[in-house]
Amino acid sequence: MNVELAAPEVSRIHANVFRMVSGMFLAEPSQELLDQLALDETWEIISIFVPPSGYQELQDLALNRQFTISELRLAFHSLFAVPLGAYVFPFESCYRVATPPGPLMGPPAVEVQSAYAAAGFAVSPEAAEPPDHVGLELAFVAELLDRYATTQDEADHKTAARLAAQIHSFCRDHLNRWLPALGNRISESGVSTFYAAVGRLAVDLVNGTVESLMASS
């Protein structure tokens, strides 16, 4: 982007990118989402936080509309909603075992729920998923980034450093430990090039966040 942004605004935009990617795992795609992905501005924003290798495939698919919304909705339900066939088990507990997929609500789910409770993060009742669902973990990071932006606005350096460390450690100790495996499973399913590209975008978004906050952890 050509406009130079203040640090709090960058953090809020960062949060919104996490929130958008979170939503792709939690709900079937809407026309509003597809319209957003068809904007050059959306990809200019994403490029602030993700290297080209992490978003260009999804950008090309979105800009060229190489799918219909009906196809994407069917793929979403096959991958994330209906526990049959190509279902990919989008929960941390299912991957933090020797031979995935493991059972639901394992120790990682308890750890994640504890992290949410300690931060005062309330999962929406509409999100009827275990706490270690990939979309909820990404939404949690989005919430922390919004709080981080507020502390930057207020020049509360101590709280900002604590939140940066919290974001870094959650990404490192949770998302980074299983999201790549989930992304591989989505890709190997062969169900949807769109969702395979979403998986790669999510992995690179989290990796970039860990690297950018490394000095603050």
Q: Which two tokens stand for residue 154?
A: 């207020």
Contact 43, 55 (CB under 8 A): yes
* Percent of the chain whose predicted confidence (pLDDT) is above 90: 82
Domain covering 7-216 assigned CATH 1.10.3480.10 in the classification: yes
CA angle 59, 64, 67 (to 5 degrees): 95
Closest CA to 155 of 16, 13, 6: 6
Q: Within its chain, how far is the Cα of 44 from the centroid?
A: 18
Q: In this model, does residue 4 exceed pLDDT 80?
A: no
Q: How far is CA 42 from CA 47, 130, 185, in A?
A: 9, 30, 26
pLDDT in tens, 62-93: 999 878 999 999 999 999 999 999 999 999 99
Closest CA to 60 of 72, 69, 52, 68: 52
The residue extents of the domains of the chain are 7-216
Residue 121 neighbours by CB under 8 Å, 6+ apart: 115, 140, 143
Q: Round to whole Å and give the CA distance between 138 and 15.
A: 9
Closest CA to 160 of 168, 148, 171: 148
Q: In this model, does residue 2 exceed pLDDT 90?
A: no
CA angle 73, 126, 136 (to 5 degrees): 75
Per 3-state DSSP, what percentage of the chain is helix, strand, and coil (rounded to 5)? 70, 0, 25
User: What average pLDDT score do residues 106-133 get?
Assistant: 91
Q: Round to whole Å and give the CA distance between 205 and 42.
A: 14
pLDDT attached to residue 123: 83
pLDDT attached to residue 217: 43
User: What average pLDDT score do residues 117-136 get?
Assistant: 89
* Percent of the chain whose predicted confidence (pLDDT) is above 70: 97
Least confident of 134-138, 156-160, 183-187: 156-160
pLDDT attached to residue 216: 47
Q: How far is CA 77 from CA 23, 80, 88, 154, 186, in A?
A: 14, 5, 10, 43, 12
Q: Round to whole Å and give the CA distance between 24 and 128.
A: 15
Q: In this model, does residue 181 exceed pLDDT 50?
A: yes
pLDDT in tens, 23-75: 999 999 999 999 999 999 999 999 999 999 999 999 999 999 878 999 999 99
Q: Round to whole Å and give the CA distance between 111 and 141.
A: 15
